[in-house]
Amino acid sequence: MPTSKIFVTFPDGTKKEYVAGTTALDAAKSISEGLAKAVLVAKVNAKLVDLSFEIKQDCTLTLLKYNEKQQDKEAQDVFRHSTAHLMAAAIKRLFPNAKFGVGPVVEEGFYYDIDVKLHETDIEKIEAEMKKLVDEKHPFVRKEYSKKEALKMFLHDELKSELIKEKGGNGASGNQTDDESSRVSVYEVDGFQDFCLGPHVPNTSFIKAFKITKLAGAYWKGDVNNVQLTRIYGISFPDKKMLDAHLKLLEEAASRDHRKIGKELDLFSFHEESPGAVFYHPKGTIIFNELQKFVREEYLQRGFSEVVTPLVYDKSLWLTSGHWEHYKEHMFVFNVDGKEVSLKPMNCPSHCLIYRTQTRSYRDLPIRIADFAPLHRNELKGVLGGMTRVRKFNQDDAHIFCTIDQLSDELNACMDFANFVYGKVFKMVYHLELSTKPEKSLGTAEQWNIAEDALKNALESNKIDYKINPGDGAFYGPKIDLHIKDALGRSWQLSTIQVDFQLPGRFGLSYEGADGQKHTPLMIHRAILGSLDRFIGILIEHFAGKFPLWLSPVQVRVLTVADRFDKYAYDVAKRYKDAGLRAEVDDRTESIGKKVREAQLAQVNYILVVGEQEVKNGTVTVRRRDNMIVGEKKAEEFLGEVLGEVRERRV
């Protein structure tokens, strides 16, 4: 019987012939031994697979790496997920009765939820056992079982049994079915078995460097009515150099933590009486208001009209919008007048109601409505995190109603707005991601194609590189998300631009076209800063509390050398305040050195010292918070310089 041949196409277009059944690793070896040693995982026809996967048909093949030079995100996720299994295998050795929940990859590494009591003193033992498993070079072995067999295998593990019953189907594809003959995939390493879709690295020796970062408590599936498990977090890298750099980054991040700096600078606080909500103190409120002022100024230039809308809406609104079906679990629902109502998690339905109050013509479009109304989303308490994960927040939210002919120009204007804010004002490096139609969605395939093509054209016409996130769009439309990189190189998702055919139709919105007929407008959902609370938290960490002058709560502090110079100090401060600056006086009977140090710790941008010479000359001696002495300047001259810096919003 002749051996069948297959053709494999690589990303550069090269096509090679192999024998059917060749593994992904064999294909890598056929190119070079160096590649075979470096590759961690493969993609066959865009589907992630183990390197041991046998290729039996013509396909495209991508070989993914994760090392210091090449860090494919999917390979990184596989690497970290494999480390989670490595950690679980070590825990199983040390605590044979442990039962294992889920162990996913997260933004900062991975975690595993485990039904076992662990203490901080156990971390060192677990890491030592993990090192042994690495040295022993245990393979990650994938096996398939029927659902019935898998349930028998995990008979004494209630957590795994529950997952198998829920998911069922083929472990490789994740298709859900209740058919007991359906297949599920199980991965084994050193006797530790886990119901898992995979893929994984070939063996434990690939995992060169790792660190368990913390222990926490977590309810099974996030439900307080379920058993509380131990959540153990970790991070891993293909070499120690990368791990050391990451741990150093964590130290720096801890010193910049917005919760720490926010307390030191008296910007805000959090209270158990309202979890997930920021209490802005006077200084924090200044930053909040300055950002709103900045956005409002841009609204005037860019044709947006601001509205103020209610916070509580009847269930009927959310049924119309589709949120009751697709988003209810994230909403705060309660009863008023015997009816179900909800705090709004987003502004779009209320803006549809405003649009509907008048008869519209094509001459009225585009209509750009902006709203800073507070929003509430019912995040689980366990995932709340300072200002970056909250329940109550404010967005610089806006919705644009336009014709299909106006869509391209409006999207380009949104892109220009985002680039102005991040590229020109805050001077942040960013990248864009396009998220396409999810599995559960509203609307026709044609509508989704038009919307996705419009977003692609906006990106490409502006010559912007972007990444595609298949299936990660909102249920009503595709979106572009902007991810900034902060001073520590961390990525944060902030801006979003979404095209929506659905809400205008569901709310019966229309306009009279040039043809005299009724048409349904398109809707663009757009936020540039995104959540102001999240943005402020990120800014605090990005600048380490050293805000640019225009955002700083205290821009100028005048220090007196002795109390006989108080009157002059207050006169200078008043002139500065009358000009619109945030200025204050430190007239305490402390040494000038102590006053300077305290002003620097408070991150006051400019520290002005006044004494006999300054009073005589009508000057101030200027020192910056970085301890650079600018020198003596005429008080009015320096006022003009500072006002110019504020006006230009220099960073």
C-alpha separations of 395 from 221, 370, 564 in Å: 29, 10, 48
Task: Find all residues with CB under 8 Å of 231, minimum gap 6, and list them.
Answer: 111, 112, 113, 114, 215, 216, 217, 218
Contact yes or no for 603/557 (Cβ under 8 A)? no
Which one from 81, 377, 534, 542 is the annotated catalytic residue? 377
Residue 496 and residue 530: Cα distance in Å, rounded?
A: 7
Contact yes or no for 482/493 (Cβ under 8 A)? yes
- Residues belonging to the chain: 651
Contact yes or no for 18/26 (Cβ under 8 A)? yes
Which one from 371, 397, 500, 586 is the annotated catalytic residue? 397
Contact yes or no for 294/424 (Cβ under 8 A)? no
C-alpha separations of 127 from 145, 158, 256, 414, 435 in Å: 31, 26, 28, 48, 38
Task: Find all residues with CB under 8 Å of 294, minimum gap 6, and list them.
Answer: 425, 550, 649
Which one from 395, 406, 447, 502 is the annotated catalytic residue? 395
Confirm whether 399 is a catalytic residue: yes
Parallel, antiparallel, or unpaired: how do β-strands 556-560 and 606-610 relate?
Answer: parallel
Confirm whether 348 is a catalytic residue: yes
199 CB neighbour count, 10 Å cutoff: 27
Residue 105 and residue 127: Cα distance in Å, rounded?
A: 18
**Quick one: which of 370, 349, 366 has its CA closest to 402?**
366
The 8-class DSSP code of residue 583 comes to E
Quickly list DSSP for 339-395. Answer: EEEEE-S-SHHHHHHHHTTS--BGGG--EEEEE--EEE----GGG-BTTTB-SEEEE
For the chain, count helices (H), then strands (E).
20, 36
For residue 316, the SS3 value is helix
Which one from 147, 183, 399, 506 is the annotated catalytic residue? 399
Q: What token pair was written down for 310? A: 């209610």
Q: With 0-12 CB in 10 A as exposed, 13-18 as middle and 19+ as buried, what is 5?
A: exposed
Q: Is the omega angle on the peptide bond into residue 374 within 30 degrees of 0, that is, cis?
A: no
Contact yes or no for 30/18 (Cβ under 8 A)? yes
Parallel, antiparallel, or unpaired: how do β-strands 556-560 and 583-586 relate?
Answer: parallel
Residue 354 and residue 365: Cα distance in Å, rounded?
A: 14
Which one from 80, 85, 348, 623 is the annotated catalytic residue? 348
Residue 500 and residue 355: Cα distance in Å, rounded?
A: 15
Which one from 99, 142, 147, 479 is the annotated catalytic residue? 479
Residue 333 and residue 327: Cα distance in Å, rounded?
A: 11
Which one from 376, 437, 525, 557 is the annotated catalytic residue? 525
**Quick one: which of 492, 491, 500 has its CA closest to 526?**
500
Confirm whether 525 is a catalytic residue: yes
State the catalytic residues: 348, 377, 395, 397, 399, 479, 525
